[in-house]
Structure 1
Amino acid sequence: MGRHLRPLRVHQLASQMLETGRLQQEPPWYRVVGAIPPTTTLVRTPPVQLQDKKIRKSARKPSRMFQPHRIVYPEDELRSRFFQDHPWELARPRILVENDGKDFMRYDWSKMRQPGKMLDGESVVQRQMWLMENQGRTKVEAYDIARKEFYDLRMREDIERRVTAEEALSVGAKFGKSYMDIGIELEQRALEQWKEKAIALLQLKRGRQAAFSGTTEEDPATAATPEVTPGAAEGVAVPAAAAAV
């Protein structure tokens, strides 16, 4: 029992070692443990002995009534299929508002477009479910119908967006740069920076070669490229001055 009580005597042993000089300074926990000592009440739970074999058998096998049931919604499989075929739909901006997940009750899914709801993957899922439950369509047939309606509406939205932009431009509206224009500018800027670094590195390399050989080299950024014209031989290019001679 004394072996189990050794952790409770840590503060006492540390105090003795400080008094005898075996410890030069107090440990960081010394004052905390002295102010709030650990409890000395030890609880030992006796092992439970099961005499009856039936009780042992039932204890080894948990009762099935406590196992949680797996909750499966048919829409989950449809969502997984749609977003697997259309992964970029997950990158579209969405309105972050809480809902109760009852879109199937709030809208009339006999048609794809719903007033007050943005067209998205959930529209395809709910439309597919409606076709399966009300028209007896198979999963594949309902998916093809809902997907075609989704594509048509997306194309119509794109056309409406372009027409709106053209009408706005015709009356003097000005739009900022598109994401594609901004991306091209950033790419061009990166290419220009790379070109400057490459020219500087080439100048440094040629300068070292010139210093080693004792000759001078032209600036690679300003050096003129000689004009070439087709030579007498097929596929050979020679300087224009040599061709004139």
Structure 2
Amino acid sequence: MAFRAPPTGLAKHVSNMLKGNLMKKPPVWLSVVQAIPPGPSIIRSQNPEANLSGQTELEQSLLTKPRQTRRLRHSEKHLRTPPPRPRAIVYPEDKLRRQFFKDHPFELSRPKVLVENDLGINRTDFSKLMLDGMHPSEIDGEAVIKYQLYLMTHEKMPERKAYAKATSEFYEIRAKQEEEERAAISNMNNVLQSLQSKKWTQKGLYLEERALRAGQSSQF
């Protein structure tokens, strides 16, 4: 097994190899390591208080659960220390998103438009679920989640109360959208019925069918 010098003695080890002509040219990083020596370990210590999710203090107090420390058993104290792993990045919307789509699974099957609006700016104002000038079809589950988070952080509402308010407004918007869709379908059916009732429409369909039959018979 090859010798691995510790980080603190790496520059000294390479310098000795250069003096003994075991290396012809010094590495490009040697001068940097000599000027700025590394620490005793290449693994950085993790700060347990680091805020990796970008949450504000209010969001942390609302959505962060207290950590539960597990005491090691006597048989586990001699085990090898597990390698360090990156900490999970948790956003405040994650918990709200799981609850919403658990209660509304069919919202996941709705098509979502990923194209930006005409101004090229994504929505950032969630003080209201549906802003002025918006169409009900523009409101989706993600908008409800952001609106619930706004109520919790700015209106100081509890999580359950904010969820009830956001979903109740969401149901009203969905009902309005379905009513508009039913009215559009009804108007379309009326237009089609009026077209089919006209004599010239029926005559045109008859002539089209006769031409299709004549073309099929001529092929054989």
TM-score bucket of the superposed structures, by smaller chain: 0.3 to 0.5
For the pair shown, the structure with the greater C-alpha radius of gyration is: 1
- TM-score norm. by structure 1 comes to 0.41
TM-score norm. by structure 2 comes to: 0.46
